Amino acid sequence: MQIKFYKYQGAGNDFVLIDNRENEVKGIDKEIVAGFCDRRFGIGGDGLMLLENEPGFDFKMVYYNADGNEGSMCGNGGRCIVAFARHLGVIADTTKFLATDGVHHAKISEAGNWVSLQMIDVADINKDGEAYILNTGSPHYVKLTANLEVKDVYNEGYAIRNNPTYKQDGININFVEKMDKGYFVRTFERGVENETYACGTGVTAVALAMAKHNHQTGTLTTPIKVLGGDLSIRFDYDGETFSNIFLEGPAELVFEGVINL
Ligand SMILES: N[C@@H](CCC[C@H](N)C(=O)O)C(=O)O
């Protein structure tokens, strides 16, 4: 059976997308997802998403990490599937869709390549030593660091992600350095088990953790540079809860094709 796919990227976080509104892809298994995401034997991607019908919503986002496991929320994936929904004519310029962490609202620019995605509210931030631990739809570890440009993100991220505290459930490791008015961030992603060019729930976690770290409250906007481009996070913080969180940035169709299932 041949499957039509679309390849999208959001700040270099790249995904295979499949329109599954007709339910053609049933019970896609771990090996197939991992094969499609393989950069040598497949299409290549940090994850794979199915766009499905969901009563009461414009669509449902089903997300798998590149290792084939069903993942938790993916922020850049969420932005890319909004651009995909617009490409398919499922939505116009605003949407309400369902993902694994709940309801998301989003807005897309007229040109269709800039997406503002509302993320879940966050109340709990814990510490592990100097690092901040929080869940923005996916679990994140946020650590301030120096000389991030030359940091060994793979080996240091791998060691933290696989230490006894995090080994079983996994966690995404974000290293962050202050830069101009915002931050530079590099992320070792769970489920890809490697550094990616961007992580949307990761930069969101960084923006929130840095607001807490710097005792900033009110309506805040945090620009963040990642290896694959620039993202921005806007939110309200009253000192206890982060709300009205929006992750904003590019989402582009790269190519489309068919692949054997
Ligand atoms: N790239 C993502 C995060 C995807 C989920 C993550 N790898 C996990 O399973 O925790 C993003 O943009 O948020």
pLDDT, tens digit, 9 for 90 and up, residues 172-198: 999 999 999 999 999 999 999 999 999
Low-confidence ranges of the chain (pLDDT < 50): none
Instruction: Give every CB contact of residue 186 below 8 A, 6+ residues apart in sequence.
Output: 148, 151, 153, 174, 175, 195, 226, 227
pLDDT for res 120: 98
Ligand 1 midpoint to CA 82 (Å)? 16
- Ligand 1 atom closest to the Cα of residue 72 is 9
Fold of 126-246: Diaminopimelate Epimerase; Chain A, domain 1 (3.10.310)
pLDDT for res 232: 98
pLDDT for res 27: 77
37 counts as catalytic? no
pLDDT, tens digit, 9 for 90 and up, residues 30-75: 999 999 999 999 999 999 999 999 999 999 999 999 999 998 999 9
In the chain, ranges of CATH 3.10.310.10 domains: 2-119+251-260, 126-246
Helix (H, G, I), strand (E, B) or coil at 206: helix
Ligand 1 midpoint to CA 200 (Å)? 7
Q: Give CA–CA dist 10/75, Å, rounded.
A: 9
Ligand 1 midpoint to CA 218 (Å)? 27
Q: Does domain 2-119+251-260 have CATH number 3.40.50.1000?
A: no
- CB of 174 closer than 6 angstroms to any ligand 1 atom: no
In the annotated binding site, the residues are 13, 65, 75-76, 172, 189-190, 200-201
Handedness of CA 65, 66, 67, 68 (dihedral sign): positive
Q: What is the ipTM of this complex?
A: 0.93
CB 107 within 8 A of CB 234: no
pLDDT for res 139: 98
**Residue among 162, 205, 166, 209 at smallest CA distance from 187:** 205
* Residue minimizing CA distance to atom 6 of ligand 1: 190
**Where do we find the tokens 């963040």?**
224
- Ligand 1 atom closest to the Cα of residue 76 is 12
- CB of 13 closer than 6 angstroms to any ligand 1 atom: yes
**Where do we find the tokens 């766009």?**
51
- Encoded amino acid at 89, one letter: G
pLDDT for res 11: 98
SS3 for 45-95 is CCEEEEEECCCCCCCEEEEEECCCCECCCCHHHHHHHHHHHHHHCCCCCEE
- Encoded amino acid at 161, one letter: R
pLDDT for res 23: 94
CB 235 within 8 A of CB 246: yes
